[in-house]
A = this chain, B = another copy of it.
Amino acid sequence: MPRSDRILMGPGPCNPYPEAIEAFGRPMLGHLDPEFLALLDDVCDRLRSLFGTTNALTVPISGTGSAGMETCIVNVLGPGDVAVIGVNGVFGQRMCDVASRTGAEVVRVDFEWGTPVTAERLLNAHPSPTLIGMVHAETSTGARSDVAEIGAGKGDALLLVDCVTSLGGLEFRADDWGVDLAYSGTQKCLGVPPGLSPITVSDRARDRFVAKSQSWYLDLRLIGDYVGTPGAKRAYHHTAPISMIFSLHGGLTAIADEGVDAVIERHATCGTAVQDGLVGLGFELFAQEGHRLPQLTTVRVPSGVDEAAIRSDLLGTYGIEIGGGLGEYAGKVWRVGCMGHTARERNVTTLVAALGELMAR
């Protein structure tokens, strides 16, 4: 089978840090081996730092970002609960779908795609929601929403934030912003292959866990007995995905060595370069000005352009992957990621030059 070498500038996965791939070569350990548990504790500590939290229950869930979403939801929602969810793209929609499957009532608050969710409408949607859910960085539109104002006004509700595309690429301060539950993914700004979903859960949320989660695999009471809580019994729940946790440790080490602030600054610089470059080629940016993510840029595809053919040529001729639109924007926008190890100026230069050549044909 061919082993093509891609520049991954879609909405994720990105190109992983070399340290994340090297870590796969560590000798395998058992999931109860003291050396593995020490490494896992170190992973959890580093995740706390990125999430901006002291939450004891901060762990990598053994699935991709959507498993983290489901974990955060099924442990706090059930019949009789009310979830207010801001929807400004596919991942807010997904949150509604997952929440509705718990039997909770979902109050969906729609916002125009490409714009942020706003505190006012979200906070006034229901008098006493169990949970308010929102997406920090909408991967389907490239829009950033402000979390802090919603956290400040959440009242008795729990605040759930999707930071799949933001963690490691934008500042995130779970504790300062009043975030009770947040989940991310490894394959975006953390620069690690897909496969794990780092989550953090406040003590306040833990106090409100449902009596028995509808999911055994994602049951945070059982997971917390194995990992993530100081003094955990280390009781076997499921076999941890050892190699992926090695890789996450490798990626988090690369981030720590560069410095989190420097990594975020690199994402900002590259994102500006992507947006300037695409505007220079005549593209119109899709997300609302002032709320554009540096790590994920959406542009409208000009009418008359065969967008699938261009993406295919970009991949086939230049080895560059970019993403198409999702949902109602399929065929209408492109999504250009610049995350993790991909977020290097040389990759931006290559993309803009290649796309310029293809558009000029």
Contacts and interface: CB of A to CB of B under 8 A. Distances in A.
Interface stretch (A32-40, A105-113, A198-206): A32-40
A233 interface: no
Contact of A21 (B25, B42, B102): B25
Q: Chain A interface: which size bin?
A: 35 or more
A216 B97 contact: yes
Contact of A241 (B6, B14, B215, B244): B244
A30 B13 contact: yes
A212 interface: yes
A215 to B, nearest CB: 6
A159 to B, nearest CB: 21
Contacts of A5: 27
Contact of A101 (B8, B66, B215, B243): B215
A63 B70 CA distance: 13
A314 B236 CA distance: 20
Given A24-B25, A30-B321, A244-B195, A185 B1 contact: no
When all copies of this chain in the complex are counted, the total is 2
Contacts of A326: 236
Nearest to A4: B35
Given A193-B242, A238-B64, A241-B195, A6 B29 contact: yes
A194 B240 contact: yes
A217 B72 CA distance: 12
Contacts of A25: 21, 24
A31 interface: yes
Nearest to A239: B194
Contacts of A53: none
Contacts of A2: 35
Contact of A315 (B21, B33, B193): B33
Contact of A70 (B4, B30, B215, B315): B215
Contacts of A28: 6, 8, 13-16, 193
A5 B27 CA distance: 5
Given A214-B214, A243-B247, A195 B194 contact: no
B35 A1 contact: yes
B27 A98 contact: no
Interface of A: 1-6, 8, 10, 12-16, 21, 24-31, 33, 35, 38-39, 42, 62-67, 69-70, 94, 97-98, 101-102, 185, 187, 193-195, 212-218, 236-244, 247, 315, 321, 326
29 contacts: A1-B35, A3-B26, A6-B29, A6-B30, A8-B28, A12-B239, A13-B30, A14-B28, A16-B28, A21-B24, A24-B243, A33-B321, A62-B64, A62-B67, A62-B195, A63-B217, A64-B238, A64-B239, A66-B237, A69-B217, A70-B215, A193-B243, A194-B240, A194-B243, A195-B242, A214-B214, A215-B215, A236-B326, A243-B243
